Amino acid sequence: MLGNFTYHNPTKLIFGQDAMDALAAELEAYGPNVQLVYGGGSIKRNGIYDQVVAALAAAGKNVVEDAGVMPNPTVEKLYEGARIARENHVDLILAVGGGSCIDYAKAVAVSANLPEGVDPWQKYWVDFDEPAVDLDVIPVGSVLTMVGTGSEMNCGSVITNHGAKMKVGHVFADARVFPRFAVLNPEFTYTLPRYQMVAGIFDIMSHITEQYFSGEDDSTSDYLMEGLMRSLIHSSRIAVKDPKNYEARSNIMWVATWALNTLIAQGKATDWMVHMIGQSVGGYTNATHGMTLAAVSLPYYRHILPYGLHQFKKFAINVWGGRPEGKTDEAIAQEGLDAMEAWMKEMGLVLHLAELGVTQDMVEGIAKG
């Protein structure tokens, strides 16, 4: 049986090869001061920066640049961004990049106007407080360049505190934290290095499996997830061989958004244990998010398989095309995970934590985290 829920997602998506054409008009809804958030410079090399700056100019905005957002954005960078937003009376934060830039923009949005003396890290990522109703939460918009996290259409923001060896995600309940709009042009992902592309593909897969491997009820969400996984597997096989295949890259982008815009979680219990272990690994190693998930998924799923036979069997048959005839439930369920392992090898994903720099002395801390 489906549980009760209220579903509300306010993000406006603008999708396709011409999506950027809509940016200037979209910007008109906001005040004059825009904080332009981006990462280490990929957008300058692939020309996306010039297109964004042209749209900002066409909309007559005053731009304050906030560059250098690192993969796995840090609490120190958050403090800096909040100061920039506050000092410049920013009306809109425009994040141009992947999940790190968008997560960071959301974090700045809820932190910039906090009362003096309130520490955003403590408030949002330790105490999991929500922004006060009268807090001025700065609107966020995004131009997506890396596919995987779903941050373009969700309320999550992951911040890393290396001092505390903690990487923490806060999924805000406050709808003001969703990006107001997201510009999604699949061609913008063509320049991603292969390592990032496949890490993103696995991040998408993991978002779906985290929500799929729970409960045994007949759930529309499970049917949706099976379709999303089949589309992802199909397109990923094309994209690794032909990264500029628009059909494959556009479908992967669309699957990513639906995998974690909270729709498929409605009415279901969800797990997120792989992400929790992965985040803990990230707190120690700063490894690429999708690779931390790839390294822990198979051992974790093989461990829990006996407790979730119903879902693992369904996964094997409906996602990977396994044939159950003459096999025990356990055998067919195992085949599903074997098929996933073969696909992961095909993608070139990291399968062992040691490859990400995890050493024996970190294991206890990672497990506790």
Residues lying near ligand NZQ in the complex (CB under 6 A): 39-43, 46, 71-72, 97-101, 103, 145-146, 148-151, 154, 156-158, 169, 188-189, 191-192, 196, 200, 203, 260, 275, 289
CA gap 244, 60 in Å, rounded: 34
- The site string for Zn ion over 42-81 (x = CB under 5 A, - otherwise) reads ----------------------------------------
* Distance in Å, CB of 340 to Zn ion, minimum: 16
State which residue, 171 or 309, has the beta carbon closest to ligand NZQ.
Answer: 171
* Distance in Å, CB of 11 to ligand NZQ, minimum: 12
- The site string for Zn ion over 198-237 (x = CB under 5 A, - otherwise) reads -----x----------------------------------
Query: Which of Zn ion, ligand NZQ, none interacts with 154 (beta carbon under 5 to 8 A by kind)?
Result: ligand NZQ
Angle at 168 between CA 165 and CA 169, to 5 degrees: 165
Query: What DSSP letter does each residue of 13-73 carry, written as one string?
Result: EEESTTGGGGHHHHHTTS-SEEEEEE-SSHHHHSSHHHHHHHHHHHTT-EEEEE--PPSS-
* Distance in Å, CB of 71 to ligand NZQ, minimum: 3
* Distance in Å, CB of 89 to ligand NZQ, minimum: 26
CA gap 97, 86 in Å, rounded: 22
State which residue, 121 or 188, has the beta carbon closest to ligand NZQ.
Answer: 188
Query: Which of ligand NZQ, Zn ion, none interacts with 72 (beta carbon under 5 to 8 A by kind)?
Result: ligand NZQ
- In one-letter notation, the amino acid at residue 24 is A
Q: Is 121 exposed, middle or buried (0-12, 13-18, 19+ CB in 10 A)?
A: buried
- List Cα–Cα distances, 345 to 149, 156, 240, 349, in angstroms: 21, 29, 12, 6
Token output for 234:
């199909």
Query: Which of ligand NZQ, Zn ion, none interacts with 124 (beta carbon under 5 to 8 A by kind)?
Result: none
Strand pairing class (181-184; 140-144): parallel
Residue with tokens 């979730």: 308
* Distance in Å, CB of 346 to Zn ion, minimum: 20
Q: Which of 15, 22, 280, 258 is nearest to 154 (CA)?
A: 258
State which residue, 51 or 74, has the beta carbon closest to Zn ion.
Answer: 74
* Distance in Å, CB of 111 to ligand NZQ, minimum: 16
* Distance in Å, CB of 335 to ligand NZQ, minimum: 27
* Distance in Å, CB of 227 to ligand NZQ, minimum: 21
The yes or no reply on residue 26 touching Zn ion (CB under 5 A) is: no
Query: Which of ligand NZQ, Zn ion, none interacts with 146 (beta carbon under 5 to 8 A by kind)?
Result: ligand NZQ
Q: Which of 225, 231, 233 is nearest to 267 (CA)?
A: 225
CA gap 346, 355 in Å, rounded: 17
Query: Which of ligand NZQ, Zn ion, none interacts with 156 (beta carbon under 5 to 8 A by kind)?
Result: ligand NZQ
Q: How many residues bind Zn ion (CB under 5 A)?
A: 1
CA gap 179, 153 in Å, rounded: 6
Q: Which of 151, 47, 134 is nearest to 95 (CA)?
A: 151
Check residue 163 and report its DSSP letter. T
State which residue, 40 or 267, has the beta carbon closest to ligand NZQ.
Answer: 40
CA gap 47, 42 in Å, rounded: 9
Query: Which of Zn ion, ligand NZQ, none interacts with 336 (beta carbon under 5 to 8 A by kind)?
Result: none
The yes or no reply on residue 103 touching Zn ion (CB under 5 A) is: no
* Distance in Å, CB of 101 to ligand NZQ, minimum: 6
Residue whose Cβ sits closest to ligand NZQ: 39
Applying CB under 5 A, which residues contact Zn ion?
A: 203
